[in-house]
A and B are shown apart, each in its own frame.
Chain A
C-alpha cells in the first residue's frame, strides 16, 4: 500500500492572503493527505528546497497578487532544477482563465479558482498521483517524525 499523499502548500512572493491556502491545507488533511505549510512570503527557490526536504509528491502554490505569470513558472523551474520534475505542481488564487494555457505550458499541472470545493482539489490530486505514484513507502519512522514536525 502506498502511504498517504504528501503535499506542500506554499505562499510565493509577497502576497499575504493565506486564508485560502490554510483552508485547502486543512481540507487536504481531512482527505487523508499529509500536509506541510511553508508560511508566507517564500521564494521559488525556498519552496523547491522545502519540497525536496519534505519529500512531497504535490506542491500547491497559492497566489492572489497577480504575479502568477512570473512566479509560478519559476517555481516549476526551481523544482526541476532539483530533479523534482515528477512533483505535481498545482496553483490556486485569482488567475484569469486566459492565463491558464500559458501556465499549463510552463508545467503547472492544475489551476483552481477561489471557492473551489476542497474535495474537487483532492480528487484532481488523487487522480494524478494514483496514475503516477505506486511506490510503497516503507520508511514509516522517517515519515512519523515529519508528521510531528508538521503539526
Chain B
C-alpha cells in the first residue's frame, strides 16, 4: 500500500487490496454486474423496481422528470445576529434559493437565552441567535414568508417553540398559515445519540415533537412538521445503512405516538419527510434513497395500513456533501457537486448542499453562492433532469439498492426486536454502533483505505497556496443580542407573558398539546429560554453520559 505518494505502483488485480471495494454502507462492490446479478438477488423488476410514482416508489414519487418538477433549492444558513442573517437571506433569495432553512445557534436550539451562563461564547456561532419573535422579525425583514417556497428551522428539541415562532412571524407579516409553508426538522430522538442538543428526558422530547405534528395535521396539513434524519446519525459514525435503519426506527416511534393520540396514519404520514444521507460513495447515495423509499412504502402499506398513496410516497430531503477537507478547500467544490448530483439523480424533493469553506468556518458569501450555483448547474446544464430515475434499471444500481435494502431491514429488525428506538437509545445500542463505526472509519482513513486527494494522496507540499478568507463572527454580536433581549423584556406586557407561560406549563403538565399556548407565549415576546425553562420545570432535565 502506498500512502503519501502520488501513485501506487503498477500491480495486477489480484494484488489490489479487497478492502478498497468494501463500501462504507456495507456491501462489497463487484467488478461486473449483469442480469445474473438481479436474478441471484431475486429481484423481480415489476414488483421491486416498478414505475415512478407508483408503489413501491423505488423509482421516485414523481411522474414527471426533475426538469419539469425540480427539487427545491434549499439553503441552510444563519450566523451572528439577525441583522447579518437577514443580509445573507436577501442575497440567497436574489441568487435563486427557494427554501431557507434557518441555522440557529446552539443556545437557541437548547433553550438558553443569550444572557444565560451556558450561552457564553456561543451566541451567534454555528447559527443565528434567535431569542424571541423580535429576532425573527429582523431576520425576515423584507422577506415575506410566502415569497419563499418553504421556510423552516431545526429546533429539534424545542419544536413547538420553532413552530410558534413561524406562526407568530407569519401573523406579523399579515399572512395566514395557508399562505406559506413551514418545514421543521423537529426530530429529537437522533439528538440523544448523534447531535447533542437534547435537554429534556427523551419521552418528553418525543411528545413535544409529536405535538408539532399533531398541530399541523389539524391546522396546517400542507406544512412539513418533521424531517426524520439519517444525516447526523451517519455523520456521527453509524454509516448510512445503520443510520437509515435507526432513523426509520425513530420514525416508527413518532408514528406510534401519533397513532396513540387517535390520528389516522393518512392524516399525518404525507407530512413526514426523511433527511437521508450517504456522503462516502456516489452510487451508495443513489441506492440508499431508492432502497429507503421502497422500505417506507412497504411499512406504510403493510404495517400501518395506509391507503393514501401520499403516505406511501416518501418525501426526501438531502444535504449534498463530500468528505470535505481543510487542505486545498476549493477541491471541496468538486466533492460537494458529486454528492449533490447523487441526490438529484436519486430523486429527492428538496435539496441543499454544503459550502466549500464549511469545514473551516461559517460559509462566506462567495462560498454560499457557489453552493447555490452547483444546484443550478445540475438543474440546467447537461441533461441530469431530463428523465425520471435515469439510473434505474442499471444492473449495478438495482443490485446495490437491494443489497442496501437488506442491510437496512436487518438493522431495523434488530432495533425492533429490542423494543424500538427508545429502547435502542436507552440500552446504548445506537450509541455503540455509532461509536464503533466512527472508530472503524477513522482506522480506514488512517490506513489510507478511503483516499483523500490532497491529504493522503497527491499531496502538494507547498500547501496553503490558496488562502480562504474566513467568515468571522464579531464578538460584539453577543452583547448586541443581550441588549436586544433587555429591550424586549422591558417593552413587553409582563402580565401577558406570565399568563401565557403559565398556560404552557399547565398544558405540559396536563399532557395536552402545547403548541397553541406556545404560540400565545411567543406572540407576547416570551423568550425561547423562558419557554424552554417551562419545559424543564414540567419534565425535568436530561443528564449527559460519561461513557465513550
> Contact residues of A with B, CB < 8 Å?
9, 13-23, 25-27, 35-41, 43, 65-67, 69-71, 74, 94, 96, 98, 113-115, 117-119
* Chain A residue contacts of B120, Cβ below 8 A: 13, 67, 70-71
Contact A39 B544 (CB under 8 A): yes
Do A117 and B548 form a contact, CB below 8 Å, given A17-B196, A65-B106? Answer: no
A71 vs B439: C-alpha distance when bound (angstroms): 27
What separation, in Å, do the CA atoms of A22 and B360 have in the docked complex?
21
B545 to chain A minimum Cβ distance, whole angstroms, is 6
The residues of B that contact A39 with a CB separation of less than 8 Å are 544-546
Residue B195 at the chain A interface, CB threshold 8 Å = yes
B548 touches A26 (CB 8 A): yes
A66 pairs with B118, CB closer than 8 A: no
- B473 touches A (CB below 8 Å): yes
| CB of B61, distance to nearest CB on chain A (Å) | 32
**A23 contacts B362, C-beta separation under 8 Å:** no
Give the docked Cα–Cα distance between A43 and B110 (Å): 15
Q: What is B's interface to A at a CB cutoff of 8 Å?
A: 106-107, 110, 112, 117-122, 125-126, 191, 194-198, 235-237, 326, 359-362, 434-435, 438-439, 442, 445-446, 455, 470, 473, 475, 544-548
| Closest A-B pairs by Cβ, 6 of them | A16-B196, A70-B121, A39-B544, A67-B121, A14-B106, A66-B125
Please give, as numbers and ranges, the residues of chain B lying within 8 Å of A65 by CB-CB distance: 106, 122, 125-126
Question: Chain B: which residue is nearest A113 at the CB level?
Answer: B326
> Which residues in B have their C-beta under 8 angstroms from that of A37?
546-548
* Interfacial chain A residues near B126, Cβ < 8 Å: 15, 65-66
B118 close to A43 (CB less than 8 A): yes
- A103 to B198 Cα, complex, angstroms: 29
Specify which of B122, B439, B455 is in contact with A26 (CB 8 Å cutoff).
Answer: B439
The answer to whether A17 touches B195, judged by C-beta atoms less than 8 angstroms apart, is yes
Chain A residues with CB below 8 A from B475, complex form: 70
> Hey, which chain B residues are within 8 Å of A9, CB to CB?
548
Please tell me if the beta carbons of B106 and A15 are within 8 angstroms of each other in the complex: yes
Q: Kindly report which residue of chain A lies nearest to residue B120, judged by CB atoms.
A: A70
Contact between B236 and A96, CB atoms less than 8 A apart: no
The CA-CA distance from A114 to B235 in the complex, in Å, is 13
Are the C-beta atoms of A19 and B544 separated by less than 8 Å?
Answer: no
In the complex, the chain B residue whose C-beta lies closest to that of A67 is B121
B546-A22 in contact (CB<8A): no
**Given A17-B196, A71-B121, A113-B326, A94:B548 Cβ within 8 A:** no
Could you list 16 A-B pairs, sorted by A, with CB under 8 Å? Answer: A14-B106, A14-B107, A15-B126, A17-B196, A19-B435, A20-B438, A26-B439, A37-B548, A39-B546, A43-B117, A66-B125, A66-B361, A69-B121, A70-B475, A115-B455, A119-B446
Judging by beta carbons under 8 Å apart, are A26 and B435 in contact?
yes
The docked-state distance in angstroms from the alpha carbon of A145 to that of B349 is 55
Residues of B within 8 A of A74 (CB): 121
List residues of chain B with CB within 8 A of the CB of A13. Answer: 106, 118, 120-122
Known: A17-B195, A23-B439, A66-B473. A41 touches B122 (CB 8 A): no
The answer on a CB contact under 8 Å between A98 and B359 is no
Query: Are B362 and A15 neighbours in the complex by a CB distance under 8 Å?
Result: no
CB contacts (< 8 Å) of A96 on chain B: these are 360-361, 470
Contacts of B194 in A (CB 8 A): 19
Q: Which one of B112, B122, B435 contacts A22 once the chains associate, using CB atoms below 8 Å?
A: B435
Q: Which residue of B lies closest to A118 (CB)?
A: B442
Most chain B CB within 10 A, of A9, A25, A65, is at A65
A contact residues around B547 at 8 Å (CB): 37
Q: In the assembly, what is the distance between CA of A39 and CA of B544, in Å? A: 6
CB distance from B424 to the nearest CB of A (A): 18
CB distance from A98 to the nearest CB of B (A): 7
Contact among A19, A41, A98 with B434 in the assembled complex (CB-CB below 8 Å):
A19
Tell me whether A67 and B125 are in contact (CB under 8 A).
Answer: yes
B195 touches A16 (CB 8 A): yes
| Chain A residue nearest in CB terms to B464 | A97
CB distance B438 to A22 under 8 Å? yes
Chain B residue with the shortest CB-CB distance to A150: B546
Question: Closest CB-CB distance, A22 to chain B, in whole Å?
Answer: 4
Q: How many whole Å from A11's CB to the nearest CB in chain B?
A: 8
Asked if A66 meets B197 with Cβ closer than 8 Å, knowing A37-B547, A71-B120, A71-B121, the reply is no
**17 more A-B contacts (CB under 8 A) besides A13-B118, A19-B237, A36-B546?**
A14-B110, A14-B118, A14-B122, A18-B196, A19-B194, A19-B235, A19-B435, A22-B435, A23-B435, A26-B439, A27-B439, A35-B548, A39-B545, A40-B544, A65-B126, A96-B470, A98-B470
> Contacts A37-B547, A40-B196, A118-B442: A19 and B236 contacting too (C-beta < 8 A)?
yes
Docked Cα-Cα span, A115 to B196, in Å, equals: 20
Choose one: A16, A70, A115; the contact of B191 (CB below 8 Å).
A16
Expressed in whole angstroms, the Cα–Cα distance for A96 and B471 within the complex equals 11
Q: Is the CB of B548 within 8 A of A21?
A: yes
Closest to B123 in A: A67
Q: Which residues of the partner chain A approach B442 to less than 8 Å between Cβ atoms?
A: 23, 27, 115, 117-118
Tell whether, in the assembled complex, residue A14 and residue B112 are in contact, meaning their CB atoms are under 8 Å apart. yes
Compute how far the CA of A46 lies from the CA of B250 in the bound complex, rounded to whole angstroms.
33
Partner of B118, one of A38, A41, A115: A41
